[in-house]
Amino acid sequence: MMRYLRGYAQIMISGAEPERCLNMFAACDVAFWAPEKTDALHLRCRIYQKDLDAANRLASAAMCTVETELQRGLYSEYRGLLRRPLLLLGVAGAFAVTFFLQNFIWVITVSGNEQIPTEQILLTLEQEGVTFGAWGPSFEQESLKNRMLNRLPQLRWLALNRTGAIARVLTSEREGEKHTVDRAAVSNLIAKRPGVITRVSVLNGFAAVQPGDAVITGQLLVSGFMDWTTHTQATRALGEIYADTFYDITVKQPSCVQKKTYTREEFKVRTLIFGRKRIKLTGKSGILGTTCDTMIKTRSLTLPGGYLLPVALETVTLRPYTLTEEPVSQKTAEHVLQSAAKAAVARQLVAGSIKGESHTIQQNNGALVLRADIFCEEMIAVSIPADPLREEETNGESDQR
Amino acid sequence: MGQARRQLEHWIRAIDFPTEILTGIPTVQIKGRDETVVVQHRGILSYSDDAVDVASSIGVVRIRGAGLKIRLMNRERVCLCGKVSRVELEESPV
């Protein structure tokens, strides 16, 4: 192996006394091995490539000739690669990536989190030293887990598994307090807003209203106490009570809007992002003022398997514009305000629909004001706990009447 | 010259010093039947598969055998491997 690395040559010594050549080699410290006398005038042996010139001189002195039969060695066989530097660079890079660079963390994936944002976990990991380019074997899993759980109390459990250059963070979050409904509790249904009853559907309890009745906010709709003559049953009132309700909504918007007029100019700024470092490639980034539309497009380097590397090319496109004030047409404003009013009412409906609306629009102090009356049919029943003692007193008074 | 050598050897033995180092007397070491080492040689006179003649200060060391090959050779020693059947010393007048 060492001889191959150093490079050797097989030579044929020809002469009347080839042994004299060997004697001269030995006397002048020219190492040789595997001598083989083929006949009386020829002797084959091997020497190091670096000794070829000396061997030729010594052979001449011994009145012999030296003929090189073959040359072998790392340099002689692979020196052609020196003409291909990129190939050598690629091989060196492959070795580096395989045996050295994979000990650094290049990709961090987080899974198992639902409430806590991934960015928050990554930021906390960065504060603990787990970041892009960190030395992987330096992390002690158990102490890192304990530190992370102290920093993020919403987490119940955390584990960091490293596979080569990929660090996988597995998390489990604490469960929040669960709101449970006590199905055995006694409750009534009352009206959450005033209206005229249109539909009554009682699943459990005693209906205190019927279609056509006008009710006010807080009025009893379904009682959880049912009178069975011989006894009173206290239960949880269940049902759906629909009523016609009325909403008075006021919505306003400015009567003039600022409209963008683009200057037809466009600037592009390209930046190479490597981890947290940003290297500006092209473009002028010092554009002052805020009257620009900014469109940011980022293309990240992705490994097979979908692993995102923190290497990205960011292209920011800037389109300057000027602002001009334009009055809003009343028709357009009316349509926008009407839609906004209906949307506001729809958000308040638990169940039901908007049946009709009427509105007025007027201009007041530079603003367009829309006042809308919206009629809905909605489910107005809401459940509240009932006090049995209070109900008994109320029933007693009504019996006495 | 021979008398001077003998006198030198006598003095060296008297002080218990290895004689071969100062006088250049060759040493032949035979290890089993497969290896023979000649120390303090003066070159190979002939070399073949069954006979190797090594020159020394006191004569020619003739080594006979089969499959003889030079495993190592430098200024001071020649190491031969192969089946050695006979080692002879042909003295030359000194």
Helical axes A18-27 vs A52-61, angle rounded to 10°? 120
Model confidence at B92, pLDDT cuts 50, 70, 90, reads confident
Lowest mean pLDDT among A74-88, A292-306, A381-395: A381-395
Q: What is the DSSP string of A176-231?
A: PPP----TTS-EEEEESS-EEEEEEEEEESEE---TT-EE-TT-EEEESEEE-SS-
Rounded Cα distance, A311 and A271, in Å: 11
Examine the pLDDT at A213 and tell me if it is beyond 90: yes
The arithmetic mean of pLDDT across residues B67-87, rounded, is 90
For residue A29, give the nearest of B72, B3, B90 by alpha carbon: B72
The shortest C-alpha distance from B6 to chain A (Å) reads 27
Lowest mean pLDDT among A55-64, A72-81, B15-24, B46-55: B15-24
Find the closest chain A residue to B81 by CA distance.
A34
What pLDDT, on a 0 to 100 scale, did the predictor assign at position A400? 38
Model confidence at A179, pLDDT cuts 50, 70, 90, reads confident
Please check whether residue B21 touches A, CB under 8 A: no
What residues of B are in contact with residue A29 (Cβ under 8 Å)? Answer: 74-75
- The span from the first CA to the last CA of chain B, in angstroms, equals 7
The shortest C-alpha distance from B56 to chain A (Å) reads 13
Examine the pLDDT at A10 and tell me if it is beyond 90: yes
Question: Do residue B47 and residue A37 have CB atoms under 8 angstroms apart?
Answer: yes
List, for residues A183-200, the tens digit of each pLDDT value: 778 899 999 999 999 999
Cα–Cα separations (whole angstroms), residue B27 to A37, A287, A377, B65, B73: 25, 93, 124, 19, 15
Please check whether residue B43 touches A, CB under 8 A: yes
What residues of B are in contact with residue A33 (Cβ under 8 Å)? Answer: 71-72
- The span from the first CA to the last CA of chain A, in angstroms, equals 118
Among A20, A31, A35, select the one facing B69 at the smallest CB separation.
A35
Assess: ipTM above 0.85: no
What pLDDT, on a 0 to 100 scale, did the predictor assign at position A396? 41
Among A18, A26, A35, select the one facing B74 at the smallest CB separation.
A26
Among B70, B74, B75, select the one facing A35 at the smallest CB separation.
B70
Examine the pLDDT at A254 and tell me if it is beyond 70: yes
Please check whether residue B72 touches A, CB under 8 A: yes
Reduced to 3 states (helix: H, G, I; strand: E, B; else coil), residue A109 is strand
Average per-residue pLDDT in chain A?
87
Question: Do residue B69 and residue A27 have CB atoms under 8 angstroms apart?
Answer: no
What pLDDT, on a 0 to 100 scale, did the predictor assign at position A2? 86
What pLDDT, on a 0 to 100 scale, did the predictor assign at position B19? 61
